[in-house]
Amino acid sequence: MPVVCVWATPFSAKKPDVLFLREGLSVSEIVSDLSARLPSQFVDRGQIRINGELVPKALWRSVRPKATSAERPIAVTFHIAYESRGDGGGAKQIIGLVAALALTVVTGGIASGALGAAFGIASLGAGTIGASLLAGAVGLAGSLAISALTSAPVTKAGDTSADSNGDDNRSASASGNSAAEPGGSIDRVIGTTKVYPKLVGQPVISIENRDDIVEAVFALNGPHKIEDLRIDEAPFEANSDIQIQYREGWQDDQPIDLVNRYGRQTGAQFELSAHTVDPEDMAQLLNRVNPSENVPKWHGVPTRRSPDEVWCRFSLPAMGYRTTEDQLVIPIRTRIRLRGTTQWRNLPEFHISAQSISPFKNELQLKWDMAEPTDVPTVPSKNGVYFVAKYTPGQTAVPVTSANQADSYFSAGSGNDYLYRGTESTSNIRHVFAYDNRIVMHLTSAAFPRGIYDIQMKRGFSYKAGDFSKSSYQFKSAVTDFFWFTDNGTIAESRENKGEQIVHQFTTSVYNAPILPTPGFATIAIRARNAQINNVSCLASGYVRDYDAVTGKFSKWVTTSNPAPHFVDVHIGRQNVDPLPQDLLDLEEMIEWRQRCIDAGYTCNEIIVDQSIDDVRALIASCGYAKPYQSDLWSVVQDYDRSQEPVVQVFSPRNARGFSFNKAFPKLPDGFRVNFRDKTADYNTEEVVVFRDGYDGGEDGKLEGVSYGGLDEEAKVITRARFDLAQAEKRATFYSWEAPAEAIVCRRGSLVAIEHDTLARHTGRARIKEVLIDPDTHLITGIRLDSVAPILNTPDMHAVADMHAVVDMHTVGLRTAVAIRRSNGWITTHLTSSSSDEETDLVIFASPLADLYAPGSVFDPTEIPEIMAGCLVVVGDHDRVYKRVIVSEMQPSTDIIYKMVAVDEAPELWADGLSKYVLQESGGKVLQETSSGIFWEP
């Protein structure tokens, strides 16, 4: 496979050149091959990294990059640092620029939409992830899911298998009941939403007299408040035909007793084959040469493992003679075999009788280890199980057939081999009971070991009841095999003018035990007579522990749509089979986030359907404009207007290294076409189009289709979509650097300051060498630095007497400020009054500062000056001393060095992002800050 190489000239707006290199080249050979394209000084000053790891120059001849692949992408990047040196010890280093020689396969990674391991995100250098994703040929929503500070609440690509209606895999729980698989997941509701709870097992359909009784149990995982129950979208109203029982799902709930069994259906629906006859003579088999080809065949169904009962349902659409009112009878033979054995065991033969033009149903029921009834049932004369025989003789006429003998388990002795209408009390048939709608055979585990059984059945030709002698098993005065034929290839009863179709509808393996043996599931049990229940829905609200100010913990059971309590519950609640220890969850952050969600109106209302904990917590966090965070504590990175907050740390070339930034220029869609479940439309899926701010190209713009989960109000969907579209523009730059142990002052989501020559023109950084204090006032008048920095205090344009005398117009009106990281961690900014327009190590403050003291540390609380020798100082223009960014990634490496990645604060994402505020009082002066990151003293 050829290796695709892309070379982008630094600072060039031209499209990259694309070339191909063969595999197996060493780093030196690659440099040599590309010498005409690389800068002339590259061999002396350049760096080469493989997946972000520096290749020492001494090893260039030895290292041969492996070929890239979809499983393990390899990226070789060329870097070169352009430098200029000023006077003194303050060397200015421009960020090392990526020379952008990348080895990648065109069909791999982002180009083919592989956002995960196939793209090799974990192996890429810090600071390249987000920009690469945003600029790649993928959907914006998918890119934001990985690169954004807080991702959009989109359903994951791997979980959405869209159907024709555009719904994702929530469609079953959002539009109709599906059955939970054994050991499978049960749905959970976050917040409040309409849900179609999963069936716990398949409905059990039993026969009661001539009625069908449907028993079904629906469940949700964990305690839920259940309201507005609907059956087939109609509000439920109690009546004698439908009974319903609720349980909210608490640990001390009384068990459901309306339904105390469950079942699983097996086997397909099929018609039992009959004799194939000549249409012109319906007593004559069609194949006169080989009539055995035209006799009924065995049909089979399996049971589930070790059921308590098995019900084989037969349906006879219309049974009887079409021209007379004679009673019609159909004989049926069945046999069973334990899975894994070879011996079939015959069950007693039974005949079903009916005289009806309406649909008629009957069942064969096998029951293991159950008490047998003491009463003797009576079968009606017209309809029901007409005849049962443990032994039937073979046909005496040619061709002669063998007798059919039921398993000896069903015999109590010789003679009296049959039941007639269930009333032959002297019969030696045992364990068999005939009814009008079923035949029941009781089995014991000792005789028939429990397990999976195969059941086979076949029917014989139908006959008129009056032509059959039950005592001698003679039909029309001769012993006849109803399942075979006579010597001339005929059957003894014509099939003409009969309704004799018999259909196996289903086989149900029944278990006589509660479907939910353990508590903790919200349950709806339904028992309905002759009712077809297609869809059962309800408005469900998941109970969750909310914050209790009295206990200071999340301990108060409520129903709420606030994302924070549900995020806590996902980690430490009962539905997590391996809950997180509570002391590992950042409860302080959770409480703060909870209140922010209340203030901003953030909600999450969603059905959790067979999703991992990572997916669930990501969705919940996204609805609250946050992203899961995992380190020493589990928490969230919140995204909100930080313009009224100070930075917690400052990074410059004096306490960090390897500064770089990666800017994406994504081809953004004109907007999103968002699908969401709208609670105002009965939670049906609706669509709203949201255009990107500033787009004015009309309604024919290029739209990206996304599905938002957790949001069920159009206004919130629109707000979120606009925010997500704006993130790709306002946070398309990713800053990266390496910092020592002092990086632990911040964490992912922290607001920090970065200062570097490439971010602003007039910048500098140093440490305080000496603090200048007025002996009379005891105020700090200035500081002396350990290196020089540019201090500019030039008059503005209106105060310049002769513009021709101005050497550099960019310096007109500039005034320098310095930001000091004090010993207690506070970062304050102060204007200077120095008259020098050049680099100097002396800084004089425009207003003297109070000489304040603070405790040294928790180990030594002795107070030390807040401003003292060794404090870090950064210098810059008065309107922006440093750049405010938000940490998005922190990865520890060797020697307590952290690889940091940050994105722009972007206060313009928030309506009030440019507000000013009072930060603190220091030395009698009020310090203020704007979104641009400058403190000043008015």
Q: How far apart are CA 920 and CA 153, in angstroms?
A: 37
- Sheet (strand 935-936) strand order: 917-922, 925-929, 935-936
| pLDDT the model gives residue 905 | 92
| pLDDT the model gives residue 99 | 30
Residues 451/306, Cβ–Cβ less than 8 Å: yes
Q: Which residue has the higher pLDDT, 7 or 292?
A: 292
| pLDDT the model gives residue 534 | 75
Residues 538/227, Cβ–Cβ less than 8 Å: yes
Q: How far apart are CA 836 and CA 815, in angstroms?
A: 11
Condensed to tens digits (0 to 9), the pLDDT of residues 30-73 reads 888 878 777 777 888 787 777 667 888 888 888 887 777 666 66
- Model confidence band, residue 89 (pLDDT cutoffs 50, 70, 90): very low
End-to-end CA distance of the chain: 65
Interval 649-665 mean pLDDT: 89
Condensed to tens digits (0 to 9), the pLDDT of residues 390-428 reads 999 999 888 999 999 999 999 988 877 888 876 665 578
Length of the chain: 938
| pLDDT the model gives residue 698 | 67
| pLDDT the model gives residue 277 | 94
| pLDDT the model gives residue 174 | 60
Dihedral sign from CA coordinates of 515, 517, 523, 525 = positive
Provide the token pair at 596.
């922010």
Interval 513-530 mean pLDDT: 86
Q: Which residue has the higher pLDDT, 641 or 79?
A: 641
Condensed to tens digits (0 to 9), the pLDDT of residues 721-747 reads 999 999 888 888 899 999 988 888 888
% residues pLDDT > 90 (the chain) = 41
Q: For residue 440, what are the contacts with CB-CB under 8 A and spacing of at least 6?
A: 365, 367, 432, 433, 434
Q: How far apart are CA 722 and CA 744, in angstroms?
A: 34
Q: How far apart are CA 583 and CA 633, in angstroms?
A: 8
Q: How far apart are CA 675 and CA 678, in angstroms?
A: 9
Q: Side chain identity at 398, as an amino acid letter?
A: V
Interval 843-850 mean pLDDT: 90
Condensed to tens digits (0 to 9), the pLDDT of residues 260-296 reads 888 888 888 999 999 999 999 999 999 999 999 999 9
List beta partners, residue 490: 284
Condensed to tens digits (0 to 9), the pLDDT of residues 680-703 reads 999 999 999 998 887 776 666 788
For the cut 90, the answer to whether the pLDDT of residue 369 exceeds it is yes
Q: How far apart are CA 390 and CA 611, in angstroms?
A: 54
Helical (H) or strand (E) element with 85 = none
Q: How far apart are CA 141 and CA 725, in angstroms?
A: 9
Mean predicted lDDT score pLDDT of the chain:
81
Helical (H) or strand (E) element with 141 = helix 140-147
Provide the token pair at 282.
């319906």
Among 3-12, 171-180, 527-536, 541-550, which range has the highest average pLDDT? 541-550
